[in-house]
Amino acid sequence: MQDIETLKRQNMNLSDKIYIFDTTLRDGEQTPGVALTVDEKIQIATKLNNLGVDKIEVGFPASSHGEIKSAQKIKSLGLKSTLVGLARSLDCDVDAILDADLDYVHTFIGTSPLHRDYKLKMSKSEIIENASKTVEYAKDHGLTVEFSAEDATRTERGFLLDVYSEVISAGADFLDVPDTVGVLTPILTRELITDIVNNFKIPVSVHFHNDFGLATANTLTAIECGASQAHVTVNGLGERTGNCSLEELVMTLKASYGIDLGLDTTRLYSLSTLVGRLTGVKMPVNKPIVGANAFAHESGIHVHGILNNSSTYEPISPEMVGHTRKIVLGKHTGANALKSKLKEYHIDLNEDQFYKVFNEIKSLGDSGKAVTDDDLIAIAITELGSARETPIIMKGLSISMGASVSPTATVKLEIDGVEKETAHTGVGPIDAALNAVRELVQDTMDIELEEYNLEAITGGTDALAEVFVISSDSDGNKSTGRSTNQDIVMASILAVLDSMNKLLLIKRA
Ligand code: KIV
Ligand code: ZN
């Protein structure tokens, strides 16, 4: 890794301070299909603040009363990050920023011929007049002003520089360069940002979209050329294909440029997970930094390297971003990976048993099946000869519910060959059935349900429910359980029993 001084010597025009301007709550919320409640915005803003981003664009206050309310609520949290609101080049939009109790406005107007002629129907001089007047109005009201020339990258260069020069005269504090439809490439970015940075004395910011997958590369190039602020979003959310991704930018700066922005990067993965859950936009497994496979290894050669020294096949450690390393089993698995997995589950096999399990995992992989940890446990336990009988078998389940009484579940289980039955109430039918199961197994094991996921895997009222659970026992062993059934209560109980049986089998093995 190189330090900032080395990079400066290599003809990079790095700014001494690089601001991270997060727009997950504004451009990120413009992701098709995404809408956040006030409470969800508060959760995300709090995490962004704890991560340490300099600025958080909390919304577009003029667009709705709810946006003003959510900005006010976030303001009332007293976060350290500076809060920003978006405004068109209109006095009424600036008034909404003031109503929202914000001190920093990000004001914009389209400058390209396409925006002037087809959207705004304004001449060049009208664009300059509107932009400058709004900047002046915002400054007169005591706001910090960042000005964006929307679609800057498709705007005639001379006109773009004129607009920037006029808004600076009107008092703008930051110039932002939006690549609104993501048409830049690194070499074009270098030329454009160098020109803007050389022409003006105030800080230059960039807001790059990802239409061709280049947003992060272009943003890094802009920073190399003297841009001192980057607009980013968590998970790269944003209009269409999104914006420059916060986690990709911050970690590339840290790992490849040696630039530590002072953010607590160990919070990145949990922030990404929260945003994924609240927006419903799940990350692909191969998403850099935060995807499920970002630190997952399957091939024998890689796992061997990783087990000796993780840097062999990881540019950064998962701990740096709060993620975890995963050794995945499959047709490429090597003996070292299998040994480490068996150790993780406290399963001891002799050499003969080990190679039988190894070959079975390889042939499962060869048949195109993903080999889960559960598959491994089942195969290993069968090999150990301990799985002759399933310890807990479901024998019966019935639920009774009334309009004003708590649901009651009657559950019958066969535990190690002995039938037992009990009835229990709960806040809902699943809770009642789980309470009954807990009561029935209490002499056999202690069980904690750590995770419960329910998904309808077909449509209609006869949809199949798939339940996936993670349970743990009092020794800290964990196991997954899965079941599919047309009845959600039955699917839930069978998934829990599946995980309990695995835990018992591990223990007894
Ligand atoms: O992409 C864009 O041009 C924007 C502006 C509002 C800055 O998001
Ligand atoms: Zn944008």
pLDDT in tens, 237-270: 999 999 999 999 999 999 999 999 999 999 999 9
Check: CB of residue 59 under 8 Å from CB of residue 70. yes
Distance (Å) from CA 165 to ligand 2 centroid: 22
28 lines ligand 1 (CB under 6 A): no
| Closest by Cα among 193, 277, 272 to 227 | 193
> Looking up tokens 């359980």, which residue turns up?
481
**Pair 441, 447: CB distance under 8 Å:** yes
Name the one residue in this structure whose structure tokens are 């440029």: 257
Q: What is the mean pLDDT of residues 466-495?
A: 85
Is 182 near ligand 1, meaning CB less than 6 Å away?
Answer: no
- Region of 62 on the Ramachandran plot (φ > 0 left; ψ -120 to 50 alpha; else beta): alpha
Contacts of 371 (CB under 8 A, 6+ apart): 328, 329, 330, 333, 361, 364, 365
User: 188 vs 388, which has greater pLDDT?
Assistant: 188
59 Cβ closer than 6 Å to some ligand 1 atom: no
For residues 444 and 95, which has the higher predicted lDDT (pLDDT)?
Answer: 95
The full DSSP string for 120-134 is I---HHHHHHHHHHH
Phi first, then psi: what are they for 14, rounded to 5°? -70, 135
Select from 170, 110, 168, 174 the least CA-distant residue to 145: 174
pLDDT at 507: 76
pLDDT above 60: residue 386: no
Ranking 6-10, 59-63, 70-74 by mean pLDDT, the lowest is 6-10
Name which of 211-215, 321-325, 360-364, 369-373 the model is least confident about. Answer: 369-373
Quote the strand ranges of 73-228, DSSP E. 82-88, 104-110, 144-150, 174-179, 204-208
Q: Which of 39-48, 160-169, 354-363, 452-461 has the lowest mean pLDDT?
A: 452-461
Q: For the ranges 43-57, 280-294, 445-459, which has the lowest average pLDDT?
A: 445-459
Assess whether pLDDT exceeds 60 at residue 1. no
The edge-to-edge listing of strands for the beta sheet with 408-415 is: 392-400, 408-415, 418-425
pLDDT value, residue 462: 66
Mean pLDDT of the chain: 92
Residues for the chain: how many in total?
509
Q: Which residue, by CA, sits nearest to atom 1 of ligand 1?
A: 180
150 lines ligand 1 (CB under 6 A): yes
For residue 446, the tally of other CB atoms under 10 A from its CB is 12
Nearest bound ligand to the CA of residue 176: 1
Q: Distance (Å, rounded) from C-alpha 280 to C-alpha 290? A: 15
Closest ligand 1 atom, residue 151 Cα: 3
Output the CA 408–ligand 1 centroid distance in Å: 55
* Distance from Cα 149 to the centre of ligand 2, integer Å: 11
β pairing state of 408-415 and 392-400: antiparallel
- Whether 148 is in the pocket of ligand 1, judged by its Cβ within 6 Å, is yes
